[in-house]
Amino acid sequence: MQRLEAYIRNIPDFPEPGIQFKDITPLVKTPAMLKLAVHQLIHPFLGQEITAIAGMEARGFIFGSLAAWELGIGFIPLRKPGKLPYDVESMSYNLEYGSASLEVHIDALEQGDKVLLIDDLLATGGTAAASCELVEKLGAEVVACAFVVELDFLNGREKLSKHKIHSLIHY
C-alpha cells in the first residue's frame, strides 16, 4: 500500500483551516495505481455474494463505479440533495467540516440485495454511517464498507461498529 500512498497528496488547510485534505487525484490519473486501488478495494470480498456497489457523491463514484464494473454488478449513486429526479430516501449527517445529507432513489435497492459501500475516505464516519442507514432503509444489507483512505485519529470506525470495514491506507 506504500505504492498507493505515494499518489495521495496532502493539501493543508483545505477546504478550511486545520483540515489536512487527502487529494486522490494524483492516484486516479495514474492508470496502474487506479487499477491497484480498485482491485485492493474489492479483494477481500471476491468470495462473497455482493449484488450492488453503493458509492457516495462525488469521489465514491470514481472508485465505486469501477469496482462495480470489475465485479460485473450495478452501481448505486448516493447523491447530494436535489440531484436525483425520482422519489428518494434521505439521511442527514455531520461532516469533519460542516453538515450535509445524502439521498438515494427508493427503488435503487431492495430486500435481499447485498451491498458493498465504497468511498474515497473515512474521516469522522458520518457520511458512511448515513450511507449504511440509507441502504438499510431500502431493505438491503451492508456487507462491508471499503475506503481508499482512513483517518484513524478521527475514530470513524466507532460510528460503523456493526459493519465490516476495509481501508487501504491509514493516517
**Which residues form the interface with ligand AMP (CB under 6 A)?**
19-22, 56, 59, 95-96, 119-128, 156
Tell me the β-bridge partners of 11: 21
Q: 103 near 80, Cβ under 8 Å?
A: yes
Nearer to ligand AMP, 91 or 123 (CB): 123
Of the residues 70, 96, 133, 141, only one is catalytic, namely 96
Handedness of CA 131, 147, 109, 69 (dihedral sign): positive
Give least dist CB 10 to ligand AMP, A: 9
Query: Is 96 a known active-site residue?
Result: yes
Nearer to ligand AMP, 108 or 145 (CB): 145
Give least dist CB 153 to ligand AMP, A: 11
* All three cell numbers of 14: 483545505
Nearer to ligand AMP, 29 or 139 (CB): 29
Q: 156 near 134, Cβ under 8 Å?
A: no
Give least dist CB 32 to ligand AMP, A: 22
CA distances from 88 to 27, 81, 99 (A): 32, 9, 19
Give least dist CB 157 to ligand AMP, A: 10
Cell 454511517 sits on residue: 129
Query: Is 89 a known active-site residue?
Result: no
Nearer to ligand AMP, 136 or 152 (CB): 152
- Supply the DSSP symbol for 63: H
Active site residues: 59, 96
